[in-house]
Amino acid sequence: MRMTEKCSASVRVSVQSGACLVGIASGLLISGAAHAGIGMTPFSLSLSQDLTYDSNVERVEGGRADTVSATSVTAGFDKQYGRQTYSAALTGLIQRFQDLSIYNNDGFTAEVKVASDLGDRSRVNASFLRSRSLQDFENRSGVSDGKRVVTNSNLGLRFEHGLIAQWKVMSDAGYSTADYDKAAEENRTSRSLRVGVRHSPSDLLYFETGLRHTMSDFPKRRVLQGSVNEAIGEQINRWDVDFQAGLTMTGLSQLTARLNLTKEKQDTKDASKPDDSARDFSGVTGSLAWSYTPRGKLSYLVSLSRDTNNSGGFTSTTYTSLRDRLNTSLDVTALWRLTQKLNVRGNAGVTHIQEQERLQLDGDDLSEDSSGTRGKVSLSLNYDLDRNWGFSCEVVRTERTRTVFNSGFSSNLYSCNGTFLMD
């Protein structure tokens, strides 16, 4: 089965994943780059210490609790030269578990971004990111084979060109890799290309349509043939025709929507091995987001999404597995800015998960369809002592019900972080 790495580049989200605390470093990377332009120099340096207690580090039923320390250092650069803007950041992370020392890890995140205007109507953005971190325990499907480390690389390129009046064309190209030290069958290389057209009747409204093609290659994915387990590899070919729109209804309210007509197909790389159409997907995916700020100190964000994770699973001569075939998520966030230095953030989210297994054994139908939910509630407090010092604490409750390929679990997480920024 596929185990996808989903570390978030956000301090607030990263603590929710327990062992996936490298997101703290990514969050600091972003914040460091954002603050760099404030001072007299384009350079910045930030130091951070995070202490987390997680009641279920391994994200399995009856999982073990531990206290995790994460220390990170980020050096950043952000400078504009004429029509070009350059930014870069390098973060080193030392992560230590009090009792489960087998998971101790030293990680890093490196990022470079370049943006440039080309004439009066064109703009190009390029970015490269490389990171090494612990694999998110929640995406390991209860597999407990010790420490797993994943190295990710992402290269992105975006080009925009304004046409007559309110029209513009854009194209996006991406290349990414994920290398696992203990799960080579999940090593992945992905290439994507999208071409789109946007029409903006006014500054408050836009419509956009585009075509995206994504090819993901798993060179060592295994296919079971009776008792023989062969690493023949697999490709996932996905097409999306998307329709997007954005509307600023007032200065306080914004709405964005995206609707995709999605077709996803799995192909074995050995022509002599049959493809399994049961793992293919054809249907509607998309997302909807609404942000609202009724008063100066309060703001809300509501988002809804529906998408596949149909690259998970495998095929054998007797059965098919479909892990997380379709996920539907609802997320609500509220931010209360009590003062310029103090704010409180609350979040609640729920995801509906669909999984399937098709199994015929000795004439018996042992197929199983299951659905489950993953719920999360968090509350955080952030305080900026001054332009250099910042502190935050967060409480997170996560629960997931049992499904075909995942054991249910629950966890309570308590985290506090202190950051010092020099720029």
On whether both 178 and 194 belong to a single domain, the answer is: no
**What average pLDDT does range 231-258 have in this prediction?**
89
Decide which of 1 and 42 is more confident.
42
On whether both 154 and 240 belong to a single domain, the answer is: no
CATH number for position 239: 2.40.170.20
Q: Taking 80 as the threshold, does the pLDDT of residue 257 lie above it?
A: yes
On whether both 421 and 371 belong to a single domain, the answer is: no
pTM for the model stands at 0.82
On whether both 301 and 170 belong to a single domain, the answer is: no
Task: Say which range, 43-57, 94-108, 398-412, has the weakest mean pLDDT.
Answer: 398-412
pLDDT of residue 273: 65
On whether both 56 and 89 belong to a single domain, the answer is: yes
Q: Distances from the Cα of 8 to the Cαs of 24, 28, 230, 383, in angstroms?
A: 8, 12, 33, 22
* Percent of the chain scoring above 70 in pLDDT: 81
**What average pLDDT does range 274-281 have in this prediction?**
76
pLDDT of residue 363: 64
Domain with 297 in it: 189-406
Q: Among residues 318, 327, 329, 328, which one has the least CA distance to residue 357?
A: 318
On whether both 15 and 162 belong to a single domain, the answer is: yes
- Euclidean distance between the first and final Cα of the chain, in Å? 45
Q: How far is CA 19 from the centre of its chain?
A: 15
The number of beta carbons lying within 10 Å of the beta carbon of residue 133 is 25
On whether both 173 and 212 belong to a single domain, the answer is: no
On whether both 153 and 242 belong to a single domain, the answer is: no
Domain assignment present for residue 89? The answer is: yes
pLDDT of residue 318: 65
Q: Taking 90 as the threshold, does the pLDDT of residue 313 lie above it?
A: no
Q: How many domains does the chain have?
A: 2
> What would the two tokens of residue 284 be?
């509607």
On whether both 259 and 118 belong to a single domain, the answer is: no
Q: Residue length, the chain?
A: 423
> What would the two tokens of residue 290 be?
């609404």
Q: Among residues 42, 154, 172, 57, which one has the least CA distance to residue 103?
A: 57
Domain assignment present for residue 298? The answer is: yes
**What average pLDDT does range 211-218 have in this prediction?**
94
Q: Taking 60 as the threshold, does the pLDDT of residue 31 lie above it?
A: no
Domain assignment present for residue 1? The answer is: no
- Alpha-carbon distance of 18 to 140, in angstroms, equals 13
On whether both 169 and 234 belong to a single domain, the answer is: no
Q: Taking 80 as the threshold, does the pLDDT of residue 132 lie above it?
A: yes
Q: Taking 50 as the threshold, does the pLDDT of residue 18 lie above it?
A: no
Task: Say which range, 63-67, 84-88, 266-270, 383-387, has the weakest mean pLDDT.
Answer: 266-270
Domain assignment present for residue 313? The answer is: yes
Domain assignment present for residue 106? The answer is: yes
Q: Taking 80 as the threshold, does the pLDDT of residue 319 lie above it?
A: no
Domain assignment present for residue 82? The answer is: yes
Cβ proximity of 261 and 241 under 8 Å: yes
The number of beta carbons lying within 10 Å of the beta carbon of residue 276 is 21
Domain assignment present for residue 2? The answer is: no
Secondary structure element (H or E) that encloses residue 22, with its range: helix 22-36
Whole-number average pLDDT of the chain: 84
On whether both 367 and 294 belong to a single domain, the answer is: yes
Domain assignment present for residue 111? The answer is: yes
On whether both 217 and 352 belong to a single domain, the answer is: yes
